[in-house]
Amino acid sequence: MRANFLLTALLGTFLLSGSAFADSITYTLSNDHCSGSCGTAPFGTVTLSQDGANTVKVNVSLSAGDSFVSTGFSGSFAFDLIGNPHITVINLTSGWSLDSAYADSLHFDGFGDLNYALVCNTCGNGGSHPFSQPISFDVTATGLTPASFAELSTGSTGAYFVADILGTTGKTGPVGATTPGTVTPEPSALLLSGAGAILLGLGTFRRRSKA
């Protein structure tokens, strides 16, 4: 009886949690629009995970040998959001800043226009002073979830995310994530599923015990 009560309480706690069913989504930067090719794909990944109500944590990691640069676009990393909301960005990696909290038309060659961009303030012009470390930040907007990022840019080759990079070939330019992301269940969702299965098993056991 006590075990059943505790598991019921655990289940209720997760149901009340906003992140109980918040899966993470990973996109791959695999489309190359660099001048003369930046090398061999994939060029990196973008991982989205829920971080409380209305907030999504974004982690961007480039592949070995690739670096962020600033070659004249509106930013060195760009993304879209469904509904074009006003956003707040916090916990952004040092040396970076948000171009604008409001959706804009930011052009990236080969991928068309995206709405939001991050600027690499420590990057020099062109391929000088590249930034090779991963970047991360939290985006907040009303009702924001990882699924909110599933909007393609306006170009003929639509992309969910675009990064301006210096590749292993020494060439620079934008690379993009043009295919839907891969969903990975969060540990909380898996634990909730396991708790539900245990509760179901206990209920079956009690019914058999009374028979």
Residue 206 is predicted with a pLDDT of 53
Asked if 64 and 42 touch (Cβ cutoff 8 Å), the reply is: no
Tokens of 126: 């062109």
Q: Are strands 77-79 and 31-32 parallel, antiparallel or unpaired?
A: unpaired
CA 103, CA 111: separation in Å to the nearest integer? 17
Residue 22 is predicted with a pLDDT of 67
> Given phi > 0 = left and psi -120 to 50 = alpha, else beta, which region is 160?
alpha
Please state, as a whole number, how many other Cβ atoms lie within 10 Å of the Cβ of residue 90. Answer: 10
Burial class for 208, CB neighbours closer than 10 Å (0-12, 13-18, 19+): exposed
pLDDT in tens, 115-160: 999 999 999 999 999 999 999 999 999 999 999 999 999 999 999 9
Residue 22, SS3? coil
Residue extents of the structural domains in the chain? 23-186
Q: What is the DSSP letter of 35?
A: T
CA 169, CA 40: separation in Å to the nearest integer? 9
* CA separation, residue 122 to residues 69, 76, 159, 188 (Å): 9, 11, 25, 37
CA 193, CA 11: separation in Å to the nearest integer? 9
Q: Residue 195: enclosing H or E segment and its boundaries?
A: helix 187-210
Tokens of 25: 């989504």
pLDDT digit string (tens) for the chain, length 211 residues: 554 544 444 444 444 444 445 689 999 999 999 999 999 999 999 999 999 999 999 999 999 999 999 999 999 999 999 999 999 999 999 999 999 999 999 999 999 999 999 999 999 999 999 999 999 999 999 999 999 999 999 999 999 999 999 999 999 999 999 999 999 987 654 444 454 544 445 454 455 555 5
